[in-house]
Amino acid sequence: MSLKAVLFDLYGTVAFLEHPLSGRVVSDFLVSRGYDVYPQALDAAWRYVGFIDYPKYGFNSWRAWLKRIAYRLGIKIDIQTIKEWSDFYKDQNWKLYPDAEEAFTEAKNVQLKTTVVTSIAKFMYINALKPILDKIDLLVDAFTFHCEKSNPKIYRETLKTINVKPKQAVMIGDEPYVDVFIPKKLGIHTIFLNRQGKTSLRFEVEPDAIVNNLNEAVKIVKEWTEV
């Protein structure tokens, strides 16, 4: 293979949330402030903003994001509540997986272009990526090309931006549909990351390889690059 680029998924692949915030905690907080908001409605509003509003408009802070959530919930929320609500997310603590920095370093050592492709808003996790930002050629979120990750456009525009053909790229990720099915249909090579060691994996289209960590993934990428 004549590989020129490696694309990485973000959540579950490069980084993770050390302390995910439960929707019930947020619901309890908002209810205590007099707002009639419950977990399922909150989840629906969050997904709407993430997959529809954010790709269109973009948001660069928790306060802007949460104001949009409140709008989708149909509530007029006071500034102090927005401030205290946004403070909740400071403790979520995005972190890099221990193998992420070495993986990006190895990819750059063999002259591969590197990208991170995710639907998640950049402002949420950007601090966690500081140790590897100088090793990322392109960071793509849902606002970058105005589409979320289930839209093949996000891959086409990513490759166009870094000037790489599909057959010259490999995608590494942990979601069978957005990290394997869609890129494979576009002609991109894929490596499925099975960090949890699941034994019952189902794919609509089989990945080119299955690994348990990023070091294994990049080792395979390097072998493919040398072929």
The confidence score (pLDDT) of residue 199 equals: 80
> Can you tell me the mean pLDDT for 198-222?
93
Report pTM: 0.94
pLDDT tens figures, 162-179: 999 999 999 999 999 999
Is a pLDDT exceeding 70 seen at residue 91?
no
Is a pLDDT exceeding 70 seen at residue 227?
no
Q: Can you tell me the distance from the alpha carbon of 179 to that of 150, in angstroms, rounded to the nearest whole number?
A: 9
The confidence score (pLDDT) of residue 196 equals: 86
6, 105, 114, 170, 173 from 162: Cα distances, Å:
11, 18, 9, 13, 19
Is a pLDDT exceeding 80 seen at residue 92?
no
State percent of the chain over pLDDT 70.
99
What is the per-residue burial (b if ≥16 Cβ within 10 Å, else e) of 175-198?
Answer: bbebbbbbbbeeebbbbbbbeeee
Is a pLDDT exceeding 70 seen at residue 81?
yes
Sole residue written with tokens 């000037």: 163
Contact 99, 130 (CB under 8 A): no
For every residue of 19-46, which 3-state class applies, written as one string?
CCCCHHHHHHHHHHCCCCCCHHHHHHHH
The confidence score (pLDDT) of residue 41 equals: 97
pLDDT tens figures, 7-28: 999 999 999 998 888 999 999 9
> Can you tell me the mean pLDDT for 118-140?
96
Is a pLDDT exceeding 70 seen at residue 1?
no
